Amino acid sequence: MIDKFKIACSIFIALLIVDQVIKFGFAHFGWGVQGPIISLQLAYNYGVAFSMFSFLAEYLKYIQLTLVIIGSFYLYKNQYLFKEYYLAIALLYAGGLSNILDRFTYGAVVDYVYWHYMFEFAIFNLADVLIDLAVALIIYKQFRNSKKSQETL
């Protein structure tokens, strides 16, 4: 358990730092590149995915931080879940806390990856990708565990 915790903390810290450095570059140094498929350009998201709940902009950071704290207490009480999903949890916390840190630092989430080939897609960032990857890992493990339990019946 201690080894998995150390691995998860290392992944969390490394990804949080990488994401924050990239966002700092876009927010303060004017980084940006226009491409035919994907452009890298600064955008501030005052809501959550696809700018939903942007009317809660000032309160979202507190709501999200509360959810992270509740989730942390839940993981503490159910440590077997951390043991099983430590990699996904590290990714989820790195992405989630990085976006929450943006809200406290910039007043909104710093987004910068803009897909615009054939259709316009939302602008997103590395933290969003980490959160999506964490959810995909959790779903994969759930399917795998479900399949294993069905095979044993």
Which residues are identified as catalytic? 111, 128
The C-alpha atoms of residue 4 and residue 6 are separated, in whole angstroms, by 5
Residue of 89, 93, 123, 119 whose CA lies nearest to 108? 123
User: What letter represents residue 17's amino acid?
Assistant: I
DSSP lists the bridge partners of residue 82 as: none
